[in-house]
Amino acid sequence: MKSVIRKYAKLMVKVGACVRKDDEVLIISSLEGAPLAQAMTEYCYKAKAKRVTVSYVDDKATRLHYLYQDKETLSEIPSWEADMKNSCRGKHAVTIRILSEDPHLFDGIDPDKIAARSRATHKAVKEYYDNAMANKIRWTLCAVPSEEWAKTVFPDLSPSKAVAALWNLIIKAMRLDCKDSVKAWQDFQNRSLVRIEKLNSLRLKELRYKNSLGTDFTVGLPEGAYFSGAKENTTYGAPFCANMPTEEIFTLPDRNSGNGRIVASMPLVHNGTVIEDFYLVIKDGKIVDFNAKKGYETLKNVIETDEGSRYLGEVALVQYDSPIQNLKTLFYNTLFDENASCHFAIGKAYPLINGAEKMSDEELATLGVNFSDEHVDFMVGTSDLSITGISSDGTETPIFRDGNFCF
C-alpha cells in the first residue's frame, strides 16, 4: 500500500491540483486519509509549493457534535473555521479534499439539525464556494476507504476485507493500476477534450432526456453556454481536475427552462443520509413536486434551502459504458457514483458561459445562471437513456442512445 499511496499522491498533486511554484496548499483530510495527506504534502513541496497546511476531519466526533449540540449552536460557525477556507484566494490558492465518508454517519440525527448546519456553513464560507465555482482557485477531491464506508459497499465481508475490496475498486477507478497513472489520466483528458469540442460545435440550445425508468425531461441551455470536463482551467489559465476520478462532461442549464419528470437512477448520499427511489417534477425550471421512498426529509431540506435550490444548476453527461459504471458497484459516494451516470445538480450553477468572468451576478442571472447555497448532484443515467440535442437553428442531433455517446 505504501507504493499505491505514493502513486496516488503524485497523481493528485500533478493532475488533480496541478500544484506549482509558490502555491499555498490546503489539504482537508479524513483521519483515514492521513497517510495520503502526508505523501501529498511531500509531493507539493517537491513541486515548489510555498506552504502546505493539513487539517483533519474526525467523522465520529462530528456525529457527536450533531447528537449533543442544539440547532442554534450548530448554526454558529466559528470565525477561524470560515477563515481557513475563505483565505484560499488568488492564483496561488489550491485546496485538496480527501474523503472517507460513512454513508450512514447521520442515521438517526434530526434532519433539521443537519440542514441548519449546512445552510450556516454555506453562508459562512460563501467566498470560498463562489471562488471555487467560478474557477478562480484550483481545487480537487479524492477518496480513501473507511471501515464504515467499505462495510456499506461490501456488507457481507469482514471490515478488513471490505476495506481491501474498496481499495481495489478505487485503484481501478483512479487508474492507479496503470504503469504510469499520470500519463493515463492525461491521455483520458485529451480524449475527453475531443468530445467536448464536438459538443460545443453543435451550439446546443436544448437537451431532451428519456428512458424506461420514467425520466421524460427537456432542459434548455443559456446563450453562450459551453461544455467542460476532465481538465478545467482557472480564470488565470492554470489547469486542474476538480473531481478525481471523473468521467463527466458538463454544462449548466437555463434556470427557467426545464420541464418534465426526472427519476433518480441511483441512491444519493447527502450529509450522511441515504436518499433512495426519488423523483422530481419540474415546470419552467422550478421543482414543483418530488418524493422519495427513503430520505424524504433530507431531500426536502435540500430543495427548500433557498429559492435557488428549487432549480437545477448542472447538466452532466457520463456514458453508461464507462470505467466506474463497469465496476458494477454502488459506491454510496457521490464522487464515484456521479461518474458512473449522467446526472443533474440541484442548486448553484458553475457559470460556464463565454465571458462570465467579466459579468456581474445580476448579468449572469439574467442569462439563466442559477444561484444557491446548495449544489447537490443526483444520478439519472441508465442503459437505455436517450438524449437528443437541439441546436440554435433547430437541427436535432442524437447525443446519447442506449446510455452512451453517439460520437
CATH number at residue 97: 3.40.1830.10
Domain membership of residue 180 (yes or no) is no
Q: Quote the distance between the C-alpha of residue 70 and its chain's center.
A: 29
Please give the pLDDT value at position 50: 98
Domain membership of residue 192 (yes or no) is no
Does 135 share its domain with 268? no
Please give the pLDDT value at position 373: 92
% helix / strand / coil in the chain, to the nearest 5? Answer: 35, 25, 35
Domain membership of residue 237 (yes or no) is no
For residues 119 and 77, is the Cβ–Cβ distance under 8 A? no
Residue 42, classified by CB atoms within 10 Å of its CB into exposed (0-12), middle (13-18) or buried (19+), is middle
Domain membership of residue 168 (yes or no) is no
Domain membership of residue 106 (yes or no) is yes
Q: Output Rg (C-alpha) for the chain, integer angstroms.
A: 20
Tally of residues, the chain:
407
For residues 150 and 156, is the Cβ–Cβ distance under 8 A? no
For residues 347 and 305, is the Cβ–Cβ distance under 8 A? yes
The pair phi, psi for residue 243, each rounded to 5°, is -115, 130
Does 225 share its domain with 372? yes
Q: Cα separation of 335 and 103, whole Å?
A: 12
Instruction: Choose the final residue of a domain: 127, 144, 161.
Output: 144
Host H or E run for residue 11: helix 2-11
Instruction: Choose the final residue of a domain: 121, 144, 167.
Output: 144
Please give the pLDDT value at position 272: 84
Does 122 share its domain with 208? no
Q: Cα separation of 107 and 253, whole Å?
A: 33
Q: How far lies 91's CA from each of 10, 113, 119, in Å?
A: 21, 36, 28
Does 130 share its domain with 260? no
Does 118 share its domain with 214? no
Does 252 share its domain with 351? yes
Instruction: Choose the final residue of a domain: 126, 144, 162.
Output: 144
Domain count, the chain: 2
Does 140 share its domain with 208? no
Q: Which three cell numbers stand for residue 6?
A: 505514493
Does 18 share its domain with 107? yes
Domain membership of residue 290 (yes or no) is yes
Does 217 share its domain with 336? yes
DSSP for 323-351, please give it. TTGGG----S-HHHHGGGS-EEEEEPPP-
Does 123 share its domain with 250? no
Does 254 share its domain with 396? yes
Closest-CA residue to 294 (of 332, 268, 261, 262): 268
Q: Cα separation of 181 and 376, whole Å?
A: 29
**Mean pLDDT of successive 10-residue stretches along the chain, which has 407 residues:** 97 98 98 98 98 97 97 97 95 97 94 94 95 95 98 98 98 97 96 96 97 98 96 94 97 97 96 94 98 97 97 97 94 95 97 94 97 96 98 96 97
Please give the pLDDT value at position 242: 95
For residues 347 and 374, is the Cβ–Cβ distance under 8 A? yes
Does 76 share its domain with 214? no
Domain that holds residue 214: 204-231+246-405
